[in-house]
Structure 1
Protein backbone atom coordinates (compact mmCIF):
# COMPACT_ATOMS: atom_id res chain seq x y z
CA UNK A 1 0.00 0.00 0.00
CA UNK A 2 1.35 3.43 -0.91
CA UNK A 3 2.45 5.66 1.96
CA UNK A 4 0.52 8.85 2.62
CA UNK A 5 1.49 11.91 4.61
CA UNK A 6 -0.59 13.39 7.40
CA UNK A 7 -1.32 16.37 5.14
CA UNK A 8 -2.67 14.12 2.38
CA UNK A 9 -6.51 14.42 2.37
CA UNK A 10 -6.77 10.75 1.39
CA UNK A 11 -4.93 9.76 4.56
CA UNK A 12 -7.54 11.62 6.63
CA UNK A 13 -10.55 10.10 4.85
CA UNK A 14 -12.53 7.42 6.73
CA UNK A 15 -11.44 3.84 6.02
CA UNK A 16 -14.23 1.30 5.67
CA UNK A 17 -13.99 -2.39 6.49
CA UNK A 18 -16.17 -3.95 3.78
CA UNK A 19 -17.39 -7.51 4.41
CA UNK A 20 -19.07 -9.64 1.74
CA UNK A 21 -20.85 -12.66 3.26
CA UNK A 22 -21.58 -15.38 0.73
CA UNK A 23 -22.96 -18.88 0.84
CA UNK A 24 -19.61 -20.22 -0.38
CA UNK A 25 -17.05 -17.70 0.85
CA UNK A 26 -16.51 -14.81 3.26
CA UNK A 27 -14.49 -11.92 1.82
CA UNK A 28 -13.28 -8.61 3.19
CA UNK A 29 -10.99 -5.66 2.53
CA UNK A 30 -10.49 -2.10 3.72
CA UNK A 31 -11.66 0.43 1.14
CA UNK A 32 -10.93 4.11 0.71
CA UNK A 33 -13.13 7.10 0.07
CA UNK A 34 -13.48 6.32 -3.64
CA UNK A 35 -14.23 2.64 -3.03
CA UNK A 36 -10.75 1.45 -3.99
CA UNK A 37 -9.30 -1.46 -2.01
CA UNK A 38 -6.53 -0.27 0.31
CA UNK A 39 -5.73 -3.81 1.45
CA UNK A 40 -5.42 -7.10 -0.39
CA UNK A 41 -8.73 -8.91 -0.24
CA UNK A 42 -8.90 -11.74 2.29
CA UNK A 43 -11.15 -14.78 1.90
CA UNK A 44 -12.11 -17.95 3.76
CA UNK A 45 -14.69 -20.62 3.00
CA UNK A 46 -18.06 -20.07 4.65
CA UNK A 47 -18.29 -22.44 7.63
CA UNK A 48 -21.16 -24.93 7.91
CA UNK A 49 -23.26 -25.31 9.93
CA UNK A 50 -23.24 -21.54 10.18
CA UNK A 51 -24.98 -20.18 13.26
CA UNK A 52 -24.73 -16.47 14.08
CA UNK A 53 -22.01 -17.16 16.66
CA UNK A 54 -20.02 -19.25 14.18
CA UNK A 55 -20.27 -16.52 11.53
CA UNK A 56 -19.18 -13.75 13.90
CA UNK A 57 -16.14 -15.78 15.00
CA UNK A 58 -15.26 -16.54 11.37
CA UNK A 59 -15.48 -12.84 10.46
CA UNK A 60 -13.34 -11.92 13.47
CA UNK A 61 -10.61 -14.25 12.28
CA UNK A 62 -10.97 -13.22 8.65
CA UNK A 63 -10.55 -9.51 9.30
CA UNK A 64 -7.81 -9.75 11.94
CA UNK A 65 -4.95 -9.18 9.43
CA UNK A 66 -6.52 -6.02 8.00
CA UNK A 67 -5.24 -2.61 9.09
CA UNK A 68 -7.10 0.09 11.00
CA UNK A 69 -10.54 1.19 9.82
CA UNK A 70 -13.19 3.59 11.06
CA UNK A 71 -16.47 1.90 10.16
CA UNK A 72 -17.93 -1.32 8.77
CA UNK A 73 -20.15 -2.24 5.80
CA UNK A 74 -21.67 -5.71 5.56
CA UNK A 75 -23.44 -7.46 2.68
CA UNK A 76 -25.55 -10.47 3.72
CA UNK A 77 -27.26 -13.06 1.45
CA UNK A 78 -30.84 -12.72 2.62
CA UNK A 79 -33.54 -10.23 3.45
CA UNK A 80 -32.19 -7.50 5.74
CA UNK A 81 -34.08 -4.78 7.56
CA UNK A 82 -32.99 -2.21 10.15
CA UNK A 83 -29.64 -3.91 10.68
CA UNK A 84 -31.29 -7.26 11.40
CA UNK A 85 -31.54 -10.51 9.48
CA UNK A 86 -35.03 -11.42 8.31
CA UNK A 87 -34.08 -14.49 6.26
CA UNK A 88 -30.83 -16.49 5.98
CA UNK A 89 -31.67 -19.14 3.35
CA UNK A 90 -28.12 -20.46 3.00
CA UNK A 91 -27.60 -20.84 6.75
CA UNK A 92 -31.05 -21.75 8.07
CA UNK A 93 -31.82 -22.15 11.76
CA UNK A 94 -34.19 -20.19 14.03
CA UNK A 95 -31.27 -18.31 15.58
CA UNK A 96 -31.01 -16.19 12.43
CA UNK A 97 -34.56 -14.84 12.60
CA UNK A 98 -34.42 -11.16 13.60
CA UNK A 99 -30.73 -11.50 14.46
CA UNK A 100 -29.07 -8.07 15.02
CA UNK A 101 -25.97 -8.68 12.90
CA UNK A 102 -25.06 -5.01 12.45
CA UNK A 103 -25.23 -4.31 16.18
CA UNK A 104 -23.34 -7.51 17.01
CA UNK A 105 -20.45 -6.70 14.68
CA UNK A 106 -20.43 -3.06 15.82
CA UNK A 107 -19.97 -4.25 19.39
CA UNK A 108 -17.40 -6.90 18.48
CA UNK A 109 -15.19 -4.54 16.45
CA UNK A 110 -15.95 -1.32 18.31
CA UNK A 111 -16.91 0.55 15.14
CA UNK A 112 -20.24 1.72 13.65
CA UNK A 113 -21.69 -0.82 11.22
CA UNK A 114 -24.23 -0.79 8.42
CA UNK A 115 -25.84 -3.87 6.91
CA UNK A 116 -27.58 -4.47 3.59
CA UNK A 117 -28.44 -7.38 1.30
CA UNK A 118 -25.31 -8.54 -0.52
CA UNK A 119 -26.72 -8.11 -4.04
CA UNK A 120 -27.76 -4.57 -3.14
CA UNK A 121 -24.28 -3.76 -1.86
CA UNK A 122 -22.79 -5.17 -5.05
CA UNK A 123 -25.26 -3.13 -7.07
CA UNK A 124 -24.20 0.07 -5.31
CA UNK A 125 -20.71 -0.59 -6.60
CA UNK A 126 -21.90 -1.28 -10.15
CA UNK A 127 -24.87 0.84 -11.23
CA UNK A 128 -24.43 3.88 -13.45
CA UNK A 129 -27.39 5.82 -12.05
CA UNK A 130 -29.31 6.07 -15.32
CA UNK A 131 -32.73 4.54 -15.88
CA UNK A 132 -33.89 1.21 -14.49
CA UNK A 133 -30.94 -1.03 -13.63
CA UNK A 134 -31.17 -4.61 -12.35
CA UNK A 135 -28.38 -6.52 -10.64
CA UNK A 136 -28.43 -10.34 -10.59
CA UNK A 137 -25.67 -12.11 -8.68
CA UNK A 138 -24.90 -15.68 -9.72
CA UNK A 139 -23.33 -17.48 -6.80
CA UNK A 140 -24.41 -20.16 -4.35
CA UNK A 141 -27.90 -18.97 -5.23
CA UNK A 142 -29.25 -15.96 -7.11
CA UNK A 143 -29.26 -12.49 -5.61
CA UNK A 144 -31.19 -9.54 -6.99
CA UNK A 145 -31.42 -5.78 -6.64
CA UNK A 146 -33.28 -3.09 -8.57
CA UNK A 147 -32.22 0.57 -8.94
CA UNK A 148 -34.13 3.49 -10.44
CA UNK A 149 -31.85 6.34 -11.56
CA UNK A 150 -29.29 5.12 -9.04
CA UNK A 151 -31.72 4.89 -6.11
CA UNK A 152 -32.27 1.50 -4.51
CA UNK A 153 -35.89 0.30 -4.71
CA UNK A 154 -37.59 -1.94 -2.12
CA UNK A 155 -35.92 -5.35 -2.01
CA UNK A 156 -37.09 -7.93 -4.55
CA UNK A 157 -36.22 -11.45 -3.35
CA UNK A 158 -36.28 -13.29 -6.68
CA UNK A 159 -34.18 -16.11 -5.25
CA UNK A 160 -37.19 -17.85 -3.70
CA UNK A 161 -39.75 -17.05 -6.35
CA UNK A 162 -40.90 -19.95 -8.59
CA UNK A 163 -39.49 -19.88 -12.11
CA UNK A 164 -40.04 -23.37 -13.57
CA UNK A 165 -41.97 -26.48 -12.51
CA UNK A 166 -41.87 -25.56 -8.85
CA UNK A 167 -38.18 -24.64 -8.97
CA UNK A 168 -37.08 -21.31 -7.54
CA UNK A 169 -34.45 -19.08 -9.15
CA UNK A 170 -31.98 -20.50 -6.62
CA UNK A 171 -32.81 -24.03 -7.76
CA UNK A 172 -32.70 -23.08 -11.44
CA UNK A 173 -29.43 -21.12 -11.75
CA UNK A 174 -27.69 -21.57 -8.39
CA UNK A 175 -24.32 -23.23 -8.10
CA UNK A 176 -25.81 -26.65 -7.31
CA UNK A 177 -27.76 -26.48 -10.57
CA UNK A 178 -24.64 -25.52 -12.54
CA UNK A 179 -22.80 -28.54 -11.17
CA UNK A 180 -25.75 -30.85 -11.72
CA UNK A 181 -26.71 -29.96 -15.30
CA UNK A 182 -23.35 -28.84 -16.69
CA UNK A 183 -22.15 -25.56 -18.15
CA UNK A 184 -24.03 -25.67 -21.46
CA UNK A 185 -27.48 -26.29 -19.95
CA UNK A 186 -26.79 -23.90 -17.09
CA UNK A 187 -25.94 -21.13 -19.54
CA UNK A 188 -29.23 -21.75 -21.34
CA UNK A 189 -30.96 -21.34 -17.98
CA UNK A 190 -29.13 -18.07 -17.41
CA UNK A 191 -30.35 -16.86 -20.81
CA UNK A 192 -33.93 -17.84 -19.91
CA UNK A 193 -33.62 -16.07 -16.56
CA UNK A 194 -32.47 -12.89 -18.30
CA UNK A 195 -35.47 -13.07 -20.63
CA UNK A 196 -37.91 -13.59 -17.76
CA UNK A 197 -36.48 -10.73 -15.70
CA UNK A 198 -36.70 -8.44 -18.73
CA UNK A 199 -40.35 -9.41 -19.23
CA UNK A 200 -40.96 -8.68 -15.55
CA UNK A 201 -39.17 -5.32 -15.26
CA UNK A 202 -38.25 -4.05 -18.75
CA UNK A 203 -34.92 -2.83 -17.41
CA UNK A 204 -32.57 -0.52 -19.27
CA UNK A 205 -29.44 -2.33 -18.07
CA UNK A 206 -28.93 -5.71 -16.40
CA UNK A 207 -25.66 -6.30 -14.52
CA UNK A 208 -24.57 -9.90 -13.91
CA UNK A 209 -22.32 -10.27 -10.88
CA UNK A 210 -21.33 -12.95 -8.39
CA UNK A 211 -18.69 -15.62 -8.62
CA UNK A 212 -20.46 -17.63 -11.31
CA UNK A 213 -20.77 -14.66 -13.67
CA UNK A 214 -17.32 -15.75 -14.86
CA UNK A 215 -18.91 -19.00 -16.09
CA UNK A 216 -21.38 -17.24 -18.40
CA UNK A 217 -20.35 -18.11 -21.97
CA UNK A 218 -23.48 -17.22 -23.96
CA UNK A 219 -23.68 -14.13 -26.15
CA UNK A 220 -25.40 -11.43 -24.16
CA UNK A 221 -27.67 -8.61 -25.36
CA UNK A 222 -26.13 -5.13 -25.44
CA UNK A 223 -28.21 -4.27 -22.36
CA UNK A 224 -26.61 -7.04 -20.25
CA UNK A 225 -23.13 -6.57 -18.77
CA UNK A 226 -20.81 -8.79 -16.72
CA UNK A 227 -19.65 -6.96 -13.59
CA UNK A 228 -16.62 -7.44 -11.35
CA UNK A 229 -17.26 -9.64 -8.34
CA UNK A 230 -15.13 -7.22 -6.31
CA UNK A 231 -18.12 -4.86 -6.30
CA UNK A 232 -19.48 -6.87 -3.39
CA UNK A 233 -16.66 -5.27 -1.39
CA UNK A 234 -16.06 -1.94 -3.13
CA UNK A 235 -19.79 -1.16 -3.10
CA UNK A 236 -19.64 -1.14 0.69
CA UNK A 237 -18.38 2.43 0.68
CA UNK A 238 -21.77 3.57 -0.66
CA UNK A 239 -23.48 2.50 2.58
CA UNK A 240 -21.73 5.51 4.14
CA UNK A 241 -23.02 7.95 1.54
CA UNK A 242 -25.79 9.60 3.56
CA UNK A 243 -27.94 10.31 0.51
CA UNK A 244 -27.79 6.64 -0.44
CA UNK A 245 -28.27 5.37 3.09
CA UNK A 246 -31.21 7.65 3.85
CA UNK A 247 -32.86 6.27 0.73
CA UNK A 248 -32.64 2.68 1.98
CA UNK A 249 -36.10 1.91 3.31
CA UNK A 250 -36.06 1.54 7.10
CA UNK A 251 -32.27 1.56 7.44
CA UNK A 252 -30.24 3.08 10.22
CA UNK A 253 -26.65 3.11 11.42
CA UNK A 254 -25.66 1.09 14.45
CA UNK A 255 -22.91 2.35 16.73
CA UNK A 256 -20.99 0.35 19.31
CA UNK A 257 -22.11 0.51 22.92
CA UNK A 258 -20.23 2.99 25.06
Structure 2
Protein backbone atom coordinates (compact mmCIF):
# COMPACT_ATOMS: atom_id res chain seq x y z
CA UNK A 1 0.00 0.00 0.00
CA UNK A 2 1.38 3.40 -0.97
CA UNK A 3 1.99 5.92 1.77
CA UNK A 4 -0.46 8.85 1.70
CA UNK A 5 0.88 12.12 0.33
CA UNK A 6 -0.07 15.34 2.07
CA UNK A 7 -0.59 18.64 0.30
CA UNK A 8 0.80 21.20 2.77
CA UNK A 9 -0.25 24.82 2.28
CA UNK A 10 1.16 27.85 4.11
CA UNK A 11 -0.95 30.98 3.63
CA UNK A 12 0.95 34.20 4.28
CA UNK A 13 0.25 37.88 4.02
CA UNK A 14 2.25 38.26 0.80
CA UNK A 15 2.59 34.73 -0.53
CA UNK A 16 0.93 31.31 -0.48
CA UNK A 17 3.33 28.37 -0.48
CA UNK A 18 2.63 24.67 -1.05
CA UNK A 19 4.52 21.38 -1.14
CA UNK A 20 3.83 17.67 -1.11
CA UNK A 21 4.97 15.74 1.97
CA UNK A 22 5.65 12.05 2.35
CA UNK A 23 4.34 10.16 5.37
CA UNK A 24 7.39 11.18 7.42
CA UNK A 25 6.86 14.87 6.65
CA UNK A 26 9.73 15.27 4.18
CA UNK A 27 9.10 17.43 1.14
CA UNK A 28 8.64 15.67 -2.19
CA UNK A 29 10.10 17.81 -4.96
CA UNK A 30 10.15 21.59 -5.01
CA UNK A 31 7.80 23.86 -3.12
CA UNK A 32 5.55 26.22 -5.06
CA UNK A 33 4.63 29.84 -4.35
CA UNK A 34 2.08 32.32 -5.67
CA UNK A 35 1.33 35.87 -4.48
CA UNK A 36 -1.45 36.28 -1.95
CA UNK A 37 -4.44 37.98 -3.63
CA UNK A 38 -4.87 41.72 -2.98
CA UNK A 39 -6.38 42.71 0.35
CA UNK A 40 -9.06 42.30 1.46
CA UNK A 41 -8.88 38.70 0.24
CA UNK A 42 -12.30 37.38 -0.75
CA UNK A 43 -12.93 33.69 0.06
CA UNK A 44 -13.27 32.75 -3.61
CA UNK A 45 -9.98 34.50 -4.43
CA UNK A 46 -8.22 32.60 -1.65
CA UNK A 47 -9.51 29.26 -2.93
CA UNK A 48 -8.50 30.19 -6.48
CA UNK A 49 -4.96 31.02 -5.32
CA UNK A 50 -4.73 27.68 -3.51
CA UNK A 51 -5.76 25.97 -6.75
CA UNK A 52 -3.00 27.83 -8.56
CA UNK A 53 -0.21 27.00 -6.12
CA UNK A 54 -1.21 23.33 -5.82
CA UNK A 55 -1.74 22.64 -9.52
CA UNK A 56 1.92 21.79 -10.41
CA UNK A 57 2.32 19.37 -7.50
CA UNK A 58 0.24 16.43 -8.70
CA UNK A 59 -2.01 14.12 -6.70
CA UNK A 60 -2.38 13.86 -2.94
CA UNK A 61 -4.59 12.10 -0.39
CA UNK A 62 -5.04 14.77 2.29
CA UNK A 63 -4.45 18.46 2.94
CA UNK A 64 -2.93 20.53 5.77
CA UNK A 65 -3.33 24.31 5.83
CA UNK A 66 -1.60 26.94 7.96
CA UNK A 67 -3.72 30.10 8.09
CA UNK A 68 -2.50 33.53 9.32
CA UNK A 69 -5.16 34.20 11.91
CA UNK A 70 -7.33 32.67 14.60
CA UNK A 71 -9.02 29.49 13.36
CA UNK A 72 -11.58 27.45 15.28
CA UNK A 73 -12.91 24.12 13.99
CA UNK A 74 -11.58 25.02 10.55
CA UNK A 75 -13.51 28.28 10.42
CA UNK A 76 -11.77 31.67 10.21
CA UNK A 77 -12.33 33.89 13.25
CA UNK A 78 -9.75 36.60 12.52
CA UNK A 79 -7.51 37.34 9.54
CA UNK A 80 -5.76 40.62 10.37
CA UNK A 81 -3.37 40.58 7.42
CA UNK A 82 -5.84 39.26 4.85
CA UNK A 83 -9.09 40.96 5.84
CA UNK A 84 -11.14 39.91 8.85
CA UNK A 85 -14.19 41.77 7.54
CA UNK A 86 -14.49 39.50 4.50
CA UNK A 87 -13.06 36.24 5.88
CA UNK A 88 -14.52 36.04 9.41
CA UNK A 89 -16.88 33.08 9.57
CA UNK A 90 -15.54 31.50 6.37
CA UNK A 91 -15.41 27.70 6.79
CA UNK A 92 -12.12 27.29 4.95
CA UNK A 93 -11.71 23.69 6.04
CA UNK A 94 -15.06 22.44 4.75
CA UNK A 95 -14.95 24.51 1.57
CA UNK A 96 -11.51 23.20 0.64
CA UNK A 97 -12.50 19.62 1.46
CA UNK A 98 -15.43 19.86 -0.92
CA UNK A 99 -13.46 21.76 -3.54
CA UNK A 100 -10.38 19.52 -3.57
CA UNK A 101 -12.19 16.27 -2.90
CA UNK A 102 -9.92 15.28 -0.02
CA UNK A 103 -9.96 15.57 3.79
CA UNK A 104 -8.58 18.87 5.04
CA UNK A 105 -7.28 20.16 8.37
CA UNK A 106 -6.73 23.88 8.97
CA UNK A 107 -4.77 25.38 11.86
CA UNK A 108 -3.14 28.71 12.68
CA UNK A 109 0.09 29.12 10.71
CA UNK A 110 2.28 29.65 13.79
CA UNK A 111 0.86 26.44 15.26
CA UNK A 112 1.78 24.53 12.10
CA UNK A 113 5.27 26.07 12.03
CA UNK A 114 5.67 25.03 15.64
CA UNK A 115 4.86 21.42 14.83
CA UNK A 116 7.72 21.52 12.34
CA UNK A 117 10.17 23.14 14.77
CA UNK A 118 9.64 21.85 18.31
CA UNK A 119 11.53 19.03 20.01
CA UNK A 120 8.64 17.95 22.23
CA UNK A 121 10.36 18.70 25.53
CA UNK A 122 9.17 21.20 28.11
CA UNK A 123 7.48 24.50 27.36
CA UNK A 124 8.32 25.52 23.80
CA UNK A 125 7.14 28.70 22.11
CA UNK A 126 7.07 29.87 18.51
CA UNK A 127 7.23 33.47 17.29
CA UNK A 128 6.69 34.10 13.58
CA UNK A 129 7.84 37.36 12.05
CA UNK A 130 6.33 38.16 8.68
CA UNK A 131 3.61 40.51 7.50
CA UNK A 132 2.48 40.40 11.12
CA UNK A 133 3.56 38.48 14.22
CA UNK A 134 2.24 35.09 15.26
CA UNK A 135 2.69 32.97 18.37
CA UNK A 136 2.18 29.36 19.39
CA UNK A 137 2.83 27.49 22.62
CA UNK A 138 3.51 23.77 23.21
CA UNK A 139 3.96 21.71 26.35
CA UNK A 140 5.84 18.42 25.95
CA UNK A 141 4.92 18.39 22.28
CA UNK A 142 1.22 19.07 22.77
CA UNK A 143 -0.22 22.30 21.44
CA UNK A 144 -1.93 24.76 23.76
CA UNK A 145 -4.45 26.07 21.23
CA UNK A 146 -5.70 29.57 20.47
CA UNK A 147 -2.74 31.50 21.86
CA UNK A 148 -2.72 34.57 19.61
CA UNK A 149 -0.81 37.53 20.98
CA UNK A 150 -0.72 39.48 17.71
CA UNK A 151 -3.46 41.87 18.83
CA UNK A 152 -2.24 42.24 22.41
CA UNK A 153 -0.62 45.60 23.31
CA UNK A 154 3.13 45.31 23.68
CA UNK A 155 4.29 48.95 23.72
CA UNK A 156 1.86 51.75 24.47
CA UNK A 157 -1.12 51.06 22.26
CA UNK A 158 0.91 49.15 19.65
CA UNK A 159 0.12 45.47 19.19
CA UNK A 160 2.72 42.82 18.39
CA UNK A 161 1.62 43.03 14.74
CA UNK A 162 2.22 46.78 14.70
CA UNK A 163 5.39 46.65 16.79
CA UNK A 164 7.43 43.98 14.97
CA UNK A 165 5.40 43.32 11.80
CA UNK A 166 6.72 44.02 8.33
CA UNK A 167 5.33 47.56 8.19
CA UNK A 168 7.30 48.47 11.34
CA UNK A 169 10.45 46.86 9.96
CA UNK A 170 10.23 48.90 6.78
CA UNK A 171 9.33 52.14 8.54
CA UNK A 172 11.81 51.99 11.43
CA UNK A 173 14.69 50.28 9.65
CA UNK A 174 16.49 47.06 10.48
CA UNK A 175 18.46 48.35 13.49
CA UNK A 176 15.46 49.77 15.36
CA UNK A 177 13.33 46.76 14.39
CA UNK A 178 15.94 44.39 15.84
CA UNK A 179 15.83 46.30 19.13
CA UNK A 180 12.08 45.78 19.16
CA UNK A 181 12.47 42.06 18.56
CA UNK A 182 14.88 41.88 21.51
CA UNK A 183 12.25 43.57 23.68
CA UNK A 184 9.56 41.15 22.51
CA UNK A 185 11.76 38.16 23.37
CA UNK A 186 12.34 39.57 26.86
CA UNK A 187 8.62 40.12 27.36
CA UNK A 188 7.74 36.61 26.20
CA UNK A 189 10.40 35.12 28.47
CA UNK A 190 9.01 37.01 31.48
CA UNK A 191 5.38 36.18 30.70
CA UNK A 192 5.64 32.60 29.42
CA UNK A 193 8.90 31.37 30.98
CA UNK A 194 9.54 29.21 27.94
CA UNK A 195 12.23 26.55 27.87
CA UNK A 196 12.93 27.39 24.24
CA UNK A 197 11.71 29.98 21.75
CA UNK A 198 11.77 29.29 18.02
CA UNK A 199 11.63 32.27 15.65
CA UNK A 200 10.39 31.73 12.12
CA UNK A 201 8.68 33.60 9.33
CA UNK A 202 10.02 35.50 6.35
CA UNK A 203 11.58 38.32 8.40
CA UNK A 204 13.50 36.08 10.81
CA UNK A 205 16.38 36.31 8.33
CA UNK A 206 16.71 40.03 9.20
CA UNK A 207 17.64 39.37 12.82
CA UNK A 208 21.19 40.63 13.39
CA UNK A 209 21.69 40.36 17.17
CA UNK A 210 23.24 37.38 18.92
CA UNK A 211 20.55 35.01 20.10
CA UNK A 212 20.57 33.69 23.67
CA UNK A 213 20.95 29.91 24.11
CA UNK A 214 17.22 29.37 24.61
CA UNK A 215 16.25 31.10 21.34
CA UNK A 216 16.86 29.86 17.80
CA UNK A 217 15.81 30.70 14.25
CA UNK A 218 14.06 27.94 12.32
CA UNK A 219 13.64 27.58 8.55
CA UNK A 220 10.54 28.95 6.90
CA UNK A 221 9.88 25.51 5.41
CA UNK A 222 8.78 24.36 8.88
CA UNK A 223 5.51 26.12 8.06
CA UNK A 224 4.97 23.42 5.44
CA UNK A 225 6.62 20.33 6.91
CA UNK A 226 4.83 20.86 10.23
CA UNK A 227 1.60 20.10 8.37
CA UNK A 228 2.27 16.37 8.62
CA UNK A 229 1.62 16.53 12.36
CA UNK A 230 -2.00 17.45 11.72
CA UNK A 231 -2.40 13.91 10.37
CA UNK A 232 -0.38 12.14 13.05
CA UNK A 233 -2.78 13.11 15.83
CA UNK A 234 -6.22 11.85 16.80
CA UNK A 235 -8.52 12.41 13.78
CA UNK A 236 -10.86 14.50 15.93
CA UNK A 237 -8.10 16.75 17.27
CA UNK A 238 -8.52 19.37 14.57
CA UNK A 239 -12.13 18.66 13.53
CA UNK A 240 -11.10 17.53 10.04
CA UNK A 241 -13.52 18.13 7.21
CA UNK A 242 -13.68 14.73 5.52
CA UNK A 243 -15.01 13.73 2.12
CA UNK A 244 -15.62 10.34 0.46
CA UNK A 245 -12.35 8.53 -0.21
CA UNK A 246 -13.03 8.35 -3.92
CA UNK A 247 -12.63 12.10 -4.41
CA UNK A 248 -10.04 13.40 -6.83
CA UNK A 249 -6.94 14.83 -5.19
CA UNK A 250 -5.89 17.28 -7.86
CA UNK A 251 -7.47 20.74 -7.78
CA UNK A 252 -10.31 21.07 -10.28
CA UNK A 253 -9.51 22.99 -13.42
| TM-score using structure 2 length | 0.93
Residue in structure 2 matching 1:238, options 219, 222, 229: 229
Q: What root-mean-square deviation, in Å, do the aligned CA atoms of Structure 1 and Structure 2 show?
A: 1.3
Instruction: Provide runs of 4+ in structure 1 moved above 4 Å.
Output: none
Q: 1:3-22 CA deviation, whole Å, 9 max, x = no partner?
A: xxxxxx7xx11100000000
* C-alpha deviation, 1:93, in angstroms: 4.7
Query: Does residue 121 in structure 1 map to residue 77 in structure 2?
Result: no
Q: Which residue of 2 aligns with 1:3?
A: none
Query: Does residue 197 in structure 1 map to residue 184 in structure 2?
Result: no
State how far apart, in whole Å, the 2-side matches of 1:68 and 1:221 are.
Answer: 43
State how far apart, in whole Å, the 2-side matches of 1:219 and 1:192 are.
Answer: 13
* C-alpha deviation, 1:24, in angstroms: 1.2
Q: Which residue of 2 aligns with 1:104?
A: 95
Q: Which residue of 2 aligns with 1:78?
A: 69
* C-alpha deviation, 1:52, in angstroms: 0.8
Residue in structure 1 matching 2:7, options 2, 14, 17: 17
- Unpaired runs of 5+ in structure 2? 248-253
Q: Work out whether residues 137 and 143 of structure 1, in 8 Å CA contact, stay in contact via their aligned partners in 2.
A: yes
State how far apart, in whole Å, the 2-side matches of 1:24 and 1:143 are.
Answer: 15
| TM-score using structure 1 length | 0.92
Q: Which residue of 2 aligns with 1:206?
A: 197
Q: Work out whether residues 128 and 201 of structure 2, in 8 Å CA contact, stay in contact via their aligned partners in 1.
A: yes
Q: Which residue of 2 aligns with 1:149?
A: 140
Q: 1:121-157 CA deviation, whole Å, 9 max, x = no partner?
A: 0000110000000000000000100000000003211
1:42 is paired with a residue of what secondary structure? strand
Larger mean CA deviation between 105-114 and 84-93 belongs to 84-93
- Unpaired runs of 5+ in structure 1? 1-8
